[in-house]
């Protein structure tokens, strides 16, 4: 990774270029709101982007399932910037939602993996995520590259709008540059632990994934990955919403995975963990390295290297993908070709 904000995010094989933002800079500066449209895993990236863009740029953001947006006669017009997120660039619901928005005068900014795909061609401008082809059906590296691209989008927009100081943007960029090494650290130190947790919970009937703030969309994505490749029923939920329903499910047979890495609302997640513990749920926690206090509360824990709270969710994604992968393998599932799923949903 070079100096991302001068236009390029380099790794050994892939590049994310941000010149697409320059092309629609006027629109970015004048848009009254941003609407993000996506499906599935890409929708989870959209949700995290909402949190980042609103926090860093102070622009209102709405996140829409494309399959709802296309049918519900939404209020959309020339003052709106639509961000479309898609791995394949061919998802039919997203494509039609964008065609409708375009007819109403909205500007389309695509965050797409497949170069020259239908959504890329329909977009006025955009960012290619260049994750390379996804070998399996379930979206994994596409998701983490979407997150990197969307965070860079948010930082760049915040710079255009003069909502971010140089020190903060440098901190975020430095932290983003550190992600590959920290992912490697997770792979080096946590893989065996993740495998053994996978074996412990291989026969679970249900799973609950909980997170707050930036970690809420990651909880949703962790649950989706488990469903997609192991066929275990899993739900992701904002941790504080648990009290409003899902807590009724908690007993000694329910594994509850918390994303409990260090951030300014960690105290709140700790109190949610205590609520599950009091009801005998089996606690699995993603914790920051050496956070012995939180890891000692859990039955099982996975350690994530410390990171800025804005960046940490990108790291937390990796063990959740691996956990789903190892549970899927242990259950004898074909994790690359899960039943009933298509790589691109074109109808």
Nearer to ligand F1P, 129 or 288 (CB): 129
Which residues partner with 37 through β-bridges?
64, 84
Minimum Å distance from CB 340 to ligand F1P?
A: 10
Which residue among the candidates 161, 193, 195, 343 is catalytic per the annotation?
A: 343
Q: Which residue's C-beta sits nearest to ligand F1P?
A: 40
Minimum Å distance from CB 299 to ligand F1P?
A: 29
Contacts of 337 (CB under 8 A, 6+ apart): 136, 137
Q: Which residues bind ligand F1P (CB under 6 A)?
A: 39-42, 86-88, 91, 94, 137-139, 341, 343-345
Q: Which two three-digit tokens encode residue 145? A: 């590259």
User: Residue written as tokens 């800079």?
Assistant: 25
H/E stretch holding 267 reads helix 266-277
DSSP code, position 110:
E
User: Residue written as tokens 């979407």?
Assistant: 146
- The per-residue DSSP string of 231-281 comes to --EEEEEEGGGGGGTGGGG-STT-EEEEE--SSTTHHHHHHHHHHHHTTTP
Nearer to ligand F1P, 145 or 282 (CB): 145
Nearer to ligand F1P, 221 or 303 (CB): 221
Q: Which residues of 196-209 are buried (b: 16+ CB within 10 A; e: fewer)?
A: ebbebbbebeebbb
The question of whether 195 is a catalytic residue gets the answer no
Longest dimension (CA), the chain: 55
Q: How many CB atoms lie within 10 A of CB 243?
A: 11
**Alpha-carbon gap, residue 294 to 62, rounded angstroms:** 34
Nearer to ligand F1P, 178 or 345 (CB): 345
Nearer to ligand F1P, 128 or 258 (CB): 128
Minimum Å distance from CB 92 to ligand F1P?
A: 9
Minimum Å distance from CB 276 to ligand F1P?
A: 28
Q: Which two three-digit tokens encode residue 106? A: 């909205």
Residue numbers annotated as active site: 343
């Amino acid at each position: 990774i070079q100096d991302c904000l001068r236009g390029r995010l380099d790794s050994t094989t892939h590049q994310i270029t941000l010149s697409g933002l320059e092309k629609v800079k006027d629109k970015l500066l004048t848009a009254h709101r941003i609407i993000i449209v996506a499906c599935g895993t890409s929708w989870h990236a959209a949700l995290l982007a909402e949190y980042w863009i609103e926090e860093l740029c102070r622009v209102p953001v709405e996140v829409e399932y494309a399959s709802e947006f296309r049918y519900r006669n939404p209020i959309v017009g020339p003052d709106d910037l639509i961000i479309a997120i898609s791995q394949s660039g061919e998802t039919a619901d997203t494509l039609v939602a964008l065609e409708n928005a375009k007819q109403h005068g909205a500007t389309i900014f695509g965050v797409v993996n497949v170069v020259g795909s239908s959504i890329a061609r329909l977009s006025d401008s955009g960012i290619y995520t260049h994750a390379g082809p996804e070998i399996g059906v379930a979206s994994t590296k596409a998701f983490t590259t979407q997150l990197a691209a969307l965070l860079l989008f948010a930082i760049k927009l915040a710079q255009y709008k003069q909502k971010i100081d140089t020190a903060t943007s440098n901190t975020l960029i430095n932290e983003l540059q550190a992600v590959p090494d920290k992912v490697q650290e997770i792979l080096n130190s946590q893989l065996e632990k993740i495998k053994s947790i996978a074996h412990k919970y291989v026969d679970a009937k249900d799973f609950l994934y909980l997170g707050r703030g930036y970690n809420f969309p990651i909880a949703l994505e962790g649950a989706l990955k488990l469903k997609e490749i192991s066929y275990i029923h899993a739900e992701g939920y904002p941790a504080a919403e648990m009290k409003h329903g899902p807590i009724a499910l908690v007993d000694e047979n329910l594994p509850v995975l918390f994303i409990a890495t260090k951030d300014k609302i960690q105290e709140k997640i700790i109190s949610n963990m205590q609520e599950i513990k009091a009801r005998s749920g089996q606690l699995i926690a993603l914790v920051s390295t050496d956070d012995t206090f939180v890891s000692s509360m859990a039955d099982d824990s996975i350690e994530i290297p410390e990171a800025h709270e804005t960046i940490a969710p990108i790291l937390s994604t990796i063990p959740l993908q691996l956990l789903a992968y190892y549970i899927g393998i242990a259950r004898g599932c074909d994790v690359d070709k899960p039943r009933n799923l298509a790589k691109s949903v074109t109808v």
